[in-house]
Structure 1
């Protein structure tokens, strides 16, 4: 009656074995480390490893070992003081081609790593660092889009020889006034055909017929979503300048961005970097003059010497054809004629006119796309830290003009689809810099993070200890079985957090503490049901079977309702509430397994083969 079939016992053993394996990496701790990664103009290879090792040894900085993995170089150290010395040295010696960041490298044994086991991540409140919550000004995004469409409408009406008296943006609408109703009706049909993103309505004004246009709901959502993604891309580029090893930049809601920078304590520097901007320029290549003369120092007065990201020098005309502010969209695509990777670019009205005029006169000539970063550095000048901004231009693409280009065109000559995708991202990031306001700012010191870990660990252990004592006192042998299940439940929670690579935060620890208390509820219900069956005169074996069988529906109902609440918290909550909801949800799932299936397996093992056992409950 109280014996599991072999497959169910094997299931319990396999689940527990997997849980122990994937929870084990969290036991080995971390090493203070320095991570070296390359910018687009450099690469991480064995030569860099030898250079960096030589510099550290010459400075008498001892390191445990160097690792080359995932296109990054990692040096492990025994303590944080040596780690900081190594970071300062490598940052100074390796120059601007590499990003040197502080990191924590897990000490997971290689055999565990081979199985894909790795420790769970710690949140900002446990590691220390800076947290920003930023709001994108969606009203400004709307106005920029309306202004762009207003320019497109002017171009469209002039090309169609339709006479208008004014085109203005008024509030959330574009208003176009005409001399007569016939011209207005023709314009209405043309705009509806060419600009499907606008909702057009005819009105009779006091002095002249009007067309009033607004962005459609779909176009507005797409514009705002694109603005948000472009700002996220720009922020990620800025964060690279901070040398943060594991930053978090993610969307929150429809208009906010969360930026978390572990290990960063200087909020002023972080704000300066995040506030930096990037622009784009389309310029003609000056192929009539010798670029080598310019490299040797003889740069023509009407040209600039700039370098491609792969290091090749190019001589560009000073005249700028189009800037990134005039790019309203860019998508990676495939060239229909050659099948090679390409980027489809869309310009606003003003950019389209300028681009059309220049490309018409320069068919067959090369054109360059220049990405210009505005970087911020803190330097010591006369004993004081001074913020210095500098512009760093870089050619990201050179292509030949094949036809007269206008509003929409393609950039071809790219090496791969990944390069096309990256170029589209850069173009979009430079095209729209929607205003961002920091609405929340928090700094968590590393000592506070360590204290949070200590307090969180103590809260789990104290809650665990009190529950252990109560269960042994109240239910004796069955209480000890429940305590074993509770310990295994904690192991399974940690294993799932590690397997999912979830981030553990203080609210997440609160969820684990709550789970510790809730995990024994199921066993309390089962054990009380067994006592009732024994008092009713049933046999011990029958009481065990009835206790587990009859209490199951009550246990399932209680846990399912709590799980529903946790899912709702995860769906509608912010970052910290999501962390609580994740650990609570995982704890409910694992406690159902350990409290019902796990404890039943142990009870079967102890009492299942006895005909009339004496139950200690």
Structure 2
């Protein structure tokens, strides 16, 4: 009756040993963390004696995965940013104007001359000299509309074209504004994620909150201002035709143009066309390098579309200046000497090596499509994190000791078996967190404490069933076997429903709630494993060795 096949016993103990080995690095957290950082630095920057020494602090053949500590345990920076989605509307209209101009030029016989008029952000106003041709002008401009690419914008177009006297008014449709807002926030979220990943921080939390906000939590970073420097720079790179150059910041730019300062030449301002020829969105790579004079620079390469536009423009405008604009400042404005095929180039300026490296990182990560307004920022010091760890340790130890004492007093030797399984259970939780690269938060510690109680609950169900079978006159072997068999359904029912709750919390929650859900879900799986398999193997091995005539539970 109490037979457990050898292969099952071996498999159960192998799982336990694997869990203990995976959890072991967390007992030497600082040493393993330093070794992992040194190994990563060697892979990226090469070997040095100091890095080799640090990497040797932990054996290569041992598991080196650690449980990542969350913001509330490790300290770090917390930001809540609002994406200025309306910024995109003006940029869309600036980019649309060249298409409108090219579409209207062949219709001059019908509409006469046309001229761009001053307009609010998010609108294009074009005045035509022959109002009787307005119907044709509207037809031509409406032909530039595209379907809205969103689930809620079915059947709608991206622009609305109307007339007001002799003026054509072009603006984004409401459906396109909603779709644009969603795309802008999603793109901003991904770019913020890429920028933070480029820096190499551990387990950041970057998620959308509401319609237009992004929550950013990065453990281990020095301050909120440092985090803002990483993600707050837009790094919007454009290549714009130069209209003029002067020293007057208030010079009249003309409709469709703008005046922007030079980055290196103080007091110098360039008038450039607002609509760029190529943008940084068409970049596929950017790397720090050096120019022909040995000064730090950044090389870049466009995708196929950008390379074609860049090559066509340089071929048609040899001898004209071409501004390289970074965040509304002219980095340089070289004169096009020859056709530049291939879509690659170099950005030069008064950069330091560090500045050229950071610029390359920002360009590779992409430009933020809209500005970010930081609504909330907090720096959580490591002292507060250590206080949280200490409080969590005390809570866990108190709960653990209380449970161990209760089980021993209530069930004697069987309680000792349950206590051993409970210790294995906690080790398996940490091993699983290390394996998946999970993040432990203060609510996650609460999840572990709750799991300790739930793991004992499963053993209590089994032991009480064994007691009932003994009272019914069953022999020891039969009572143990029946106890596990009859308690199994109750154990599974209780844990499955709790596991479903943990899954819902993880799917619907964010931040601390997810940290609680992760440890609770893993704890349920490990507690079921230890209660059903590990304690049973222990009891069966003891029973086979002692062969008692009677047992006390």
Structure 2: distance between partners of 1:580 and 1:107: 35
**Residue deviations 1:263-284 (CA, integer Å, cap 9, x gap):** 5555456556654453535489
Question: Alpha-carbon deviation of 1:332?
Answer: 5.9
Q: How does 1:360-371 map to 2 (within 5 A)?
A: 360-362=316-318
Counterpart for residue 9 of structure 1: 9
Secondary structure of the residue aligned to 1:24 is helix
Q: Name whichever structure is richer in helix by fraction.
A: 2
Secondary structure of the residue aligned to 1:130 is strand
Structure 2: distance between partners of 1:36 and 1:6: 43
Question: Alpha-carbon deviation of 1:356?
Answer: 7.2
Structure 2 residue aligned with 1:119, among 45, 59, 66?
66
Q: Gapped runs of 5+ residues in structure 2?
A: 150-155, 242-261, 286-300, 347-358
Counterpart for residue 330 of structure 1: 281
Counterpart for residue 561 of structure 1: 497
Q: How does 1:26-425 map to 2 (within 5 A)?
A: 26-31=26-31, 44-45=45-46, 49=48, 66-67=50-51, 109-111=58-60, 114-141=61-88, 143-148=89-94, 150-161=96-107, 163=111, 179-180=132-133, 182-184=135-137, 186-187=139-140, 190-192=143-145, 198-199=157-158, 213-214=172-173, 216=176, 221-233=182-194, 246=202, 248=204, 250-253=206-209, 255-264=212-221, 266-267=223-224, 271=228, 275-280=232-237, 282=239, 330-331=281-282, 342-344=302-304, 359-362=315-318, 401-402=339-340, 411-412=343-344
Distance change >3 Å, CA 606–CA 116, structure 1 → 2:
closer
Counterpart for residue 473 of structure 2: 537
User: How many residues in Structure 1 have an aligned counterpart in Structure 2?
Assistant: 482
Structure 1: distance between partners of 2:536 and 2:510: 38
Secondary structure of the residue aligned to 1:278 is coil
Distance change >3 Å, CA 474–CA 265, structure 1 → 2:
same
Secondary structure of the residue aligned to 2:158 is strand
Q: How does 1:447-596 map to 2 (within 5 A)?
A: 447-596=383-532
- Given that residues 502 and 520 in structure 2 are in contact (C-alpha distance below 8 angstroms), is that contact kept between their aligned partners in structure 1? yes
Counterpart for residue 290 of structure 2: none
Deviates more, 1:157-166 or 1:12-21: 157-166
Question: Alpha-carbon deviation of 1:471?
Answer: 1.0
Question: Alpha-carbon deviation of 1:8?
Answer: 0.8
- Given that residues 371 and 394 in structure 1 are in contact (C-alpha distance below 8 angstroms), is that contact kept between their aligned partners in structure 2? no
Question: Alpha-carbon deviation of 1:530?
Answer: 1.6
Q: TM-score, normalised by structure 2?
A: 0.71
Structure 1: distance between partners of 2:39 and 2:276: 30
Structure 1: distance between partners of 2:526 and 2:70: 22
**Residue deviations 1:515-547 (CA, integer Å, cap 9, x gap):** 111111111111112222222222222222222
Question: Alpha-carbon deviation of 1:592?
Answer: 0.8
Counterpart for residue 295 of structure 1: none
Q: Would you say 1:429 and 2:366 are equivalent positions?
A: yes
Structure 1: distance between partners of 2:270 and 2:75: 48
Secondary structure of the residue aligned to 2:45 is coil
Counterpart for residue 297 of structure 1: none
Q: Name whichever structure is richer in strand by fraction.
A: 1
Structure 1: distance between partners of 2:39 and 2:231: 20
CA RMSD of aligned residues (A): 4.9
